[in-house]
Structure 1
Amino acid sequence: MRSIDHARESAAAVRLMGFDVDGVLTDGSLYFTPNGDEIKVFSSLDGHGLKMLQQAGIEVVIISGRSSRALELRAANLGIAELHMGVEDKRGCLDGILARRGLPRSAAGYMGDDVVDLPILRACGFSATPADGHAFVREHVGFVTSQPGGRGAVRETCDFLLAAQGRLDVMLQRYLD
């Protein structure tokens, strides 16, 4: 893991932030009904952090190796248009998104929790993992949250990004005015 100062520098340059789902936006548990429908549990705290990123002009994208109707509904609820599910090559997917926007990798961030996320995490300017992300991943990212996946880790990352860009205090102040 790099220094927190390096993580702040990298976070200050982020214009597009990507997130994995299972273990990041959720606690990683997989629930199935007897009919085979998948149920996911999302944190409203994390959801508000994603909305704050969008309000600050940081584009939010979701790149997940799995597909689910629950995720489609959650992304739509949050106004996230760039939803990529069933992706095997997450780094390639991100490169395509960046190319369409004319952004360098240094302007991108990604939050993942398992070793399959390392190629995309290492390609981005800013990388993060939840406190309960795989130990090997925690060694190779710029920012490790104090909160676990699905329980505030995404919000902590969003707040970190906004603070690094000097926007968090202004965004929070409006709730006090």
Structure 2
Amino acid sequence: MPAHENASRIRLMGFDVDGVMTDGSLYFTPNGEELKVFSSLDGHGLKMLQSAGVEVAIISGRSSRALELRAANLGIGELHMGVEDKRACLDALLARRSLPASEAGYMGDDVVDLPILRACGFSATPSDGHEFVRRHVGYVASKPGGRGAVREVCDYLLAAQGRLEAMLSAYLV
């Protein structure tokens, strides 16, 4: 089934963080505090997706205070950090909502994301996602992680659901 058709059904969209919402670089202060750089363009895409009724979830293998703050800033309630089995996490989210996997999507960038990517109705990776992952997802963004790839996927989903043009036109008023 084409990615566009699958995207039209998505009601829950999950995202990895390092390499997807960020460029994958890990920055540490001398005290050991982790710093992350997020794109405001991506952030607005996530907010648009939520306002269109698509629930956003973050499922990450790493934990960080910076991510907690970013998720809160974006109003994302489904924040799952330090997750070793992302597929099981997704399955639990879907079970609580009585949603089939065909109505869920995920964006990841590395081979550890393949089990969750292959379980979803819609799967995506940034342009700089691992080459093996790019071969096994439905949509490869033209932009790299942390540099607009998330926004591109949000816009793609909104367009597939027939909502993007109206949402963008609202800014012309």
Q: Report the TM-score, using the length of structure 1 for normalisation.
A: 0.97
**Which residue identity is paired with 1:66?**
R
Q: How does 1:1-177 map to 2 (within 5 A)?
A: 6-177=2-173
Shift of 1:118: 0.1
List runs of 5+ in structure 2 lacking aligned partners. none
Residues 48-78 of structure 1 show CA distances to partners (whole Å, capped at 9, x for unaligned) of: 0000000000000000000000000000000
Give the share of equivalent positions with the same residue, in percent. Answer: 81
**Which residue identity is paired with 2:16?**
D
Shift of 1:88: 0.4
CA–CA distance in structure 1, aligned partners of residues 159 and 89 of structure 2: 28
Shift of 1:81: 0.3
CA–CA distance in structure 1, aligned partners of residues 123 and 166 of structure 2: 24
Q: Report the TM-score, using the length of structure 2 for normalisation.
A: 0.99
Structure 1 vs Structure 2 CA RMSD: 0.6
CA–CA distance in structure 1, aligned partners of residues 89 and 10 of structure 2: 17
**Which residue identity is paired with 1:67?**
S
**Which residue identity is paired with 1:50?**
L
**Which residue identity is paired with 1:37?**
E
CA–CA distance in structure 1, aligned partners of residues 123 and 25 of structure 2: 23
**Which residue identity is paired with 1:14?**
I
CA–CA distance in structure 2, aligned partners of residues 71 and 81 of structure 1: 12
Q: Matched residue pairs, number? A: 173
